[in-house]
Structure 1
Amino acid sequence: MNQFIFALKTLGLFTVTAIAEIAGCYLPYLWLRKGGSVFLLLPAALSLMIFVYLLTLHPAASGRVYAAYGGIYVSVAVLWLWQVDGIMPDRWDMIGSLISLTGMAVILLAPRAS
């Protein structure tokens, strides 16, 4: 049960971290490519600062943790595509997200020697 609770907390932290990272990169994109206001850079910078702070809360700063985070990042990016960009993910987006989440679960939940 402890591993399940750890996994849920980690999943939530990864999701919030991914949102902060994507928002921090998306807002400058709107400014540079879509003619948005230069003032979009202020919330972008704040979002990236939050992202960096959230990285310090992850269970460990290791390749394994960041690899697991990558699975969540891919899925959140596909949801962002749908919810923010208004582009409905196709089956390949969904399959790719499921593969990423499966890989994340294997990395995060694999039994390891303490």
Structure 2
Amino acid sequence: MTSVPLDTRAVPPMPEKTPKALRAAIAQYAPQLLVDFDRHWRRDIADAYDLAPVPAFMARWWSEYSLARDPQLEAKVHSLEDAAGQESDYSRAKALLAEAGDLRRAAAKAEPGQ
């Protein structure tokens, strides 16, 4: 008999790196982000004659989704950020924000399928 690990949550894989695939993944796994994603898309991309903002749009929302698809990681990042906001010692607050930033950057490096 094999034992089942206590942490059985499955983090959904990252989608293809296209706006359409990213939107579908957000709709399915992180619907709390969908309104802001769509608003940002309509405001900055949908009617644009210049596609220059698309890479920045994708980078931002790739990062947001990568974090939101893992509720435990997202909670840890927000906890660190909240703790930094309450910290009276500047060095400690800076360290907490640096740790949160490191986690955000690591999440944003996820590749499709990971």
Whether TM exceeds 0.5 here: the answer is no
TM-score range, shorter chain: 0.3 to 0.5
Scaled by the length of structure 2, what TM-score is found? 0.36
Bigger share in helix? 1
Q: Larger Rg: 1 or 2?
A: 2
